[in-house]
Every structure is written in structure tokens, then in C-alpha cells.
Amino acid sequence: MAQQVKIFAGNASHELGEKIAEAFGQPLGDLSIQRFADTELGPSFNESIRGCAVFLIQSTNPPAENLMELMLMVDAAKRASAASVTVVMPYYGYARQDRKDKPRVSIGAKVVADFVQSVGTDRLMTCDLHAGQIQGFFDIPVDHLDGATVIAPYIQSLGLDDLIFASPDVGGVVRTRAFAKKFGAEIVVCDKMRLRANEIASMQVIGDVTGMNVVLVDDIVDTAGTICKAAELLMERGAKSVRAVITHGVLSGPAHERIRNSVLEELVITDTIPLKEENAKIRVISLASLFAQAIRNVVTHESISSLFI
């Protein structure tokens, strides 16, 4: 008899969870998250999950209680005798803290990995980690999905000629080159220097964008300072148009205002993090079908790599 699959979602990803469950072909499981007077969280499953393959969907964007809520969900599932528990973390919070870039700092991505494993998680499914090497922080299987699988068809549908892809910083060159390869296009790099986090001191373009339609590629847009400055610089260097494709729309602080006032044609993001504010320049593409198919392939023991472009 085939193992029963049950899909649940936390508060941070309930809408995406519903879409994933629908794409998978079944309703989202019944889960309650009790909030006590002191704001402590208490998840409970309102249906039996004994012997089931359980998938828990929750992005761990701020506030930090989204991560805590997910860990309590895993613990509750293990104590309810689930056969396996897979954490589906569309956005992996703290991923930008992936190494010691100066003395006496934490490696937040490793702390999260240890936390996820400590509660008994059997498998992690995520999308576009800030650094692919974060997979090495885990001793359990990690399914690292590629957001370009759903974003690339949209870019293709625009029918842009003279297409070139740009990385907003040196660190994103590998990601940008992989994206450009799908289109047989060239890349340019915006080399930036920071004084401190979220503050850019200077930026320059390496490569020629004269008369080109530029697509900026990155994994995260936070305050949108880098992406907007890069777009402005590319237009100054003679680009015909600039748009950006980003997997995770964190969009903190002045991000929305900066995007509205920017030279960007549009900002394309996915729904790994819910969009909290309407913005005419932002287009959201859902990853629900990608995650649903990945869940199906895990359950049927088929290849996940077949989902990549």
C-alpha cells in the first residue's frame, strides 16, 4: 500500500501551502497554531498523521518566530508518529550569514541547519539558497530547487531581442551565468563595494550593455538598494531597458518606494515570501507547481533533477 502523504503549512506560508497542496491534488492538512498570552506558539495537528509522509511548508523570513513555529511543527509531527517529516522551506532565512567574513561573528546559516536537524527533520526541500554550499551544513538529504525553472519561461514569453543578463555583484556571477546559459546570452557584472550591510559605497559595470535589454538576476532583494542602483547604472551605460528577476522578495524598509521610483521596467519575484504591499512594478510568479512536483517525485522516489531546465 502506498504511503499516505499529508501537507501542512505554517502561518508564514499558508497561501503558498494551499497552492502547493492544490497543485499536488489534495487539500492542505488541518493544523492549528495556538498563540498564548505571552506570544508563545503551540502547534497541533487536528488529524491523524501516524505512519504518513508529512511535508511542512514554512519560509523562515523575519520575524524569527517563523523559524521557531516551523521547528515546533516538526517536533509535533515526530511525536504524532509521522513516518517521515520533510521541511519545505521555500525561503531559507539567515542564508546570507554563510561564512565568517570578519572576526567574532556567527554563521547563521549553520545555526539554522543544526536547529532544523536537531528536532528530527528527515529531509529539507528549499529553493535558491544564497550559497549552494549551505547544503553541506546538513547531514540529511537536501533538495535544492531552481527558481529559474518557473522564471525563465516568463522572460522567454517577453520576446526580448538583444538580451543580456547582469549580476548585481561579483558573488552572483555563477547564478547569472547559469541563467544566461538557458538563453544562449552573454553576461555583465555590476561590481559594488560596501561600507556596511545594506549600504553601497560605489558600483561599476564590467561589460558593454549599449543598446541591450538587460535582465538583472539575483536570489534576494532586501532593501532594493543594490538592484535599483545597478539598474540606474546600466541605463546610464546605454542599456535599452532593465528589468530584474529575483527569487526571494524580502522587501524590507524603503524597498517598495525605491522600486517604484527606479528605472526598472519591472521586478519579477516568486511567492516564497508573501508580498505585503501592492506595487505596480512587481510581478509575482508562483513556485507552487514546482514544489508540488518535487514533493511528488520524493514520494515516488523519482529524480528531482528532472525538474530543472
Question: What value does the mean pLDDT take over residues 199-218?
Answer: 87
C-alpha cell at 287: 513556485
Residue 307 confidence class, pLDDT cut points 50, 70, 90: confident
Q: Average pLDDT for residues 142-146, to the nearest whole number?
A: 96
Give the pLDDT confidence of 76-93 residue by residue, as tens digits.
999 999 999 999 999 999
Q: CA end-to-end span of the chain, whole Å?
A: 33
The set of cell numbers assigned to 208 is: 558593454
192 is a catalytic site residue: yes
pLDDT band of 3, cuts 50, 70, 90: confident
The confidence score (pLDDT) of residue 197 equals 61
Catalytic residue among 192, 229, 240, 281: 192
Asked if the model's pLDDT at residue 12 lies above 90, the reply is yes
Distance, CA of 295 to CA of 58 (rounded, Å): 14
Confidence of residue 185 (pLDDT cuts 50, 70, 90): very high
Question: What is the predicted pLDDT for the residue at 306?
Answer: 76
3-state secondary structure the chain: CCCCEEEEECHHHHHHHHHHHHHHCCCCCCEEEEECCCCCEEEEECCCCCCCEEEEECCCCCCCHHHHHHHHHHHHHHHCCCCEEEEEECCCCCCCCCCCCCCCCCCHHHHHHHHHHHCCCCEEEEECCCCHHHHHHCCCCEEEECCHHHHHHHHHHCCCCCEEEEECCHHHHHHHHHHHHHHCCCEEEEEEEEEECCEEEEEEEECCCCCCEEEEEEEEECCCHHHHHHHHHHHHCCCCEEEEEEEEECCCCCHHHHHHCCCCCCEEEECCCCCCCCCCCEEEECCHHHHHHHHHHHHCCCCCHHHCC
* DSSP bridge partners of 127: 145
Question: What share of the chain in percent tops pLDDT 70?
Answer: 96
**193 or 250, higher pLDDT:** 250
Q: What angle do CA 289, 219, 274 make, to 5 degrees?
A: 55
Q: pLDDT confidence of 1, banded at 50, 70, 90?
A: low
Distance CA 125, CA 145 (A): 7
- Quick: pLDDT tens for 235-282: 999 999 999 999 999 999 999 999 999 999 999 999 999 999 999 999
In terms of phi and psi (left: phi > 0; alpha: psi -120 to 50; beta: otherwise), the region of 51 is: left
Average pLDDT, integer, range 48-75: 97
Contacts of 56 (CB under 8 A, 6+ apart): 8, 9, 10, 70, 73, 74, 77, 85, 86, 87, 88
At 163, phi and psi to the nearest 5? -85, 135
Full set of structural domains in the chain with CATH: 5-146+288-307 (3.40.50.2020), 148-285 (3.40.50.2020)
- Range of lowest pLDDT (57-61, 179-183, 237-241, 264-268): 179-183
Average per-residue pLDDT in the chain? 94
pLDDT single digits (tens) 90-122: 999 999 999 998 899 999 999 999 999 999 999
pLDDT at 36 > cutoff 80: yes
Q: How many residues does the chain have?
A: 309
Distance CA(68)–CA(60), nearest Å, equals 9
Measure the CA dihedral 191/195/200/203, to 10°. -30
109, three cell numbers: 546559516
| Average pLDDT rounded to a whole number, residues 14-41 | 97
Q: Which position has the higher pLDDT, 200 or 18?
A: 18
